[in-house]
């Protein structure tokens, strides 16, 4: 049973939450308190799995409270439930909250967010995963420019010149941003040649995502890869997967998260190839020879899958939960509690169709049971045609040293 702490300065809001979540009493042990000071008292008495707080409260606001929760109980899931959606509020919460929900929030939506966040937290805290990570001598450090950009964006009034100054520290990232903004993905009417212009087209969310993915791949680019593993082909597959995933969701924010998660979905494979090259080669070959899902072979031999290791690293870096969740479950979307087609599903489908566009019927198709569960089975032919068209535009060829199962 999960222990959930609800915090708000308005008694009527707390009463409404109690009524709305009455049916959850069999699954959640819920505590409702008024204000940050009362919440801290409860946190001294008991350990909570989830803390859900309003943002604007007198005395101690939600951001300050969740920062204290992070310090005292780092494993707790932290959620903002606020009636304010202005940029200043959102930016203050981004460093301390795993999720941001707006009032009014339906009980089903709140239950789904809490359940999924707890499932992901439990997955990343699994003893087998932490034991495997402990065997790896050093995980890559948090990306520097991404961290600086995130800090700059905490100020809602930060001028675009300040953002551009942070990005312009790194010429390679600048080149990547200009390449993407001038690609067919955006289809702009004229060529963009300055970072300031690019930022105005991209928006800060997409900008952060591009900086993150550029820095992640660069951390591995200088590493010595084993001869059987192609870094260039990994990037090619990630790029095609990201293009497809970004076009499967109509919501702009969800599409951006899907694009980023798709770029990063096989980060765990890079970690295995660099840190455990011999052991990982044996796993990949065994999975290919037995026609066995790669994630299952990885768990059997190593204790955790590449999807889980990649998500673990992104969790350490403080990457937003929707991206981490999609990386963690991109091979097995039915392991999430959600039955709506969202970022997890978009990355799963895009990953499978990107491999299928290259390998044909030798690549495993998207999970048909999952697609039926989310009511999108009929969309598969359209999505398959999209993936094949994008693969042709990118000029993607069959890899020389990857197996058709790819991540699975």
Q: Are residues 171 and 118 in the same domain?
A: no
Same domain, 210 and 165: yes
Residues 94 and 182 in one domain: no
366-379 pLDDT, tens digit per residue, is: 999 999 999 999 99
Same domain, 255 and 221: yes
Of 108, 125, 142, the last residue of a domain is: 125
406 falls within a domain = no
**Contacts of range 131-137, beta carbons closer than 8 Å, 24 or more positions apart:** 131/303, 132/302, 132/303, 132/304, 132/309, 133/304, 133/309, 133/312, 135/276, 136/271, 136/275, 136/276, 137/275
The list of the chain residues with pLDDT below 50 reads: 87, 407-408
Q: Which of 64, 97, 125 is the last residue of a domain?
A: 125
- Kindly state the DSSP code that residue 217 receives in the 8-state scheme: H
First to last CA, the chain: 33
Question: How far is Cα of residue 158 from the mean position of the Cα atoms in its chain?
Answer: 25
10: β partners: none
Regarding whether 187 and 91 lie in a shared domain, the answer is no
Same domain assignment for residues 306 and 363 = yes
Q: Can you tell me the distance from the alpha carbon of 301 to that of 142, in angstroms, rounded to the nearest whole number?
A: 28
Torsion sign across C-alpha atoms 126, 272, 323, 62: positive
Indicate whether 380 belongs to any domain. yes
Identify which of 209, 210, 207, 229 has the alpha carbon closest to the alpha carbon of residue 220.
229
Please tell me whether residues 116 and 26 are part of one structural domain.
yes
pLDDT at res. 324:
92
Do the beta carbons of residue 346 and residue 366 sit within 8 Å? no
- Give the pLDDT score at 319: 84
| pLDDT at res. 272 | 93
Residue 123 burial by CB count (10 A; 0-12/13-18/19+): exposed, middle or buried? buried
Q: What is the CATH number of the domain that holds 105?
A: 3.40.50.2300
User: Could you tell me if 54 and 140 lie in one domain?
Assistant: no
Q: Would you say residue 401 lies in a domain?
A: no
Residues 71 and 16 in one domain: yes
- Domain tally, the chain: 2
What is the domain range of residue 141? 134-394
pLDDT number for residue 397: 59
Quote the tokens at residue 250: 């109509």
Same domain, 247 and 339: yes
Residues 97 and 42 in one domain: yes
The reply to whether 322 and 364 lie within a common domain is yes
**pLDDT of res. 92:** 56
In a domain, 188, yes or no: yes
């Amino acid at each position: 049973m999960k222990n959930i702490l609800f915090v708000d300065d308005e008694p009527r809001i707390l009463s409404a939450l109690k009524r709305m979540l009455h049916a959850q009493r069999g699954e959640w042990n819920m505590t409702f308190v008024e204000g940050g000071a009362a919440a801290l008292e409860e946190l001294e008495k008991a350990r909570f799995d989830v803390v859900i707080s309003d943002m604007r409260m007198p005395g101690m606001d939600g951001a300050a409270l969740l920062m204290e929760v992070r310090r005292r109980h780092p494993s707790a899931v932290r959620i903002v439930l606020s009636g304010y959606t202005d940029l200043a509020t959102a930016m203050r919460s981004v460093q301390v909250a795993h999720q941001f929900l707006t009032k009014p929030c339906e009980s089903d939506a709140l239950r789904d967010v809490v359940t999924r966040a707890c499932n992901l937290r439990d997955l990343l805290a699994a003893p087998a995963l932490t034991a495997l990570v402990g065997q790896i001598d050093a995980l890559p450090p948090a990306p520097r420019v991404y961290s600086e950009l995130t800090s700059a964006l905490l100020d809602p009034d930060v001028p675009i010149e300040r953002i551009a100054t942070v990005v312009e520290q790194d010429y390679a990232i600048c080149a990547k941003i200009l390449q993407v903004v001038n690609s067919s993905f955006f289809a702009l009417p004229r060529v963009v040649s300055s970072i300031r212009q690019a930022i105005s087209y991209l928006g800060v969310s997409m900008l952060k995502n591009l900086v993150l993915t550029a820095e992640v791949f660069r951390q591995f680019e200088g590493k010595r890869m084993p001869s059987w593993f192609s870094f260039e082909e990994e990037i090619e597959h990630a790029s095609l997967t990201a293009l497809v995933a970004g076009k499967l969701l109509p919501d702009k924010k969800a599409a951006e998260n899907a694009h980023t998660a798709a770029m990063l979905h096989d980060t765990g494979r890079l970690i295995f190839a660099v840190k455990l090259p011999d052991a990982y080669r044996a796993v990949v070959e065994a999975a290919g020879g037995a026609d066995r899902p790669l994630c299952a072979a990885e768990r059997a031999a190593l204790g955790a899958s590449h999807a889980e290791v990649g998500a673990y690293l992104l969790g350490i870096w403080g990457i937003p939960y929707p991206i981490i969740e999609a990386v963690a479950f991109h091979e097995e979307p039915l392991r999430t509690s959600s039955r709506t087609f969202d970022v997890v599903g978009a990355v799963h489908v895009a990953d499978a169709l990107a491999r299928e566009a290259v390998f044909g019927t030798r690549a495993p198709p998207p999970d048909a049971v999952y697609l039926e569960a989310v009511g999108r089975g009929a969309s598969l032919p359209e999505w398959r045609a999209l993936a094949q068209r994008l693969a042709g535009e990118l000029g993607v060829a069959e890899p020389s040293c990857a197996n058709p199962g790819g991540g699975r």
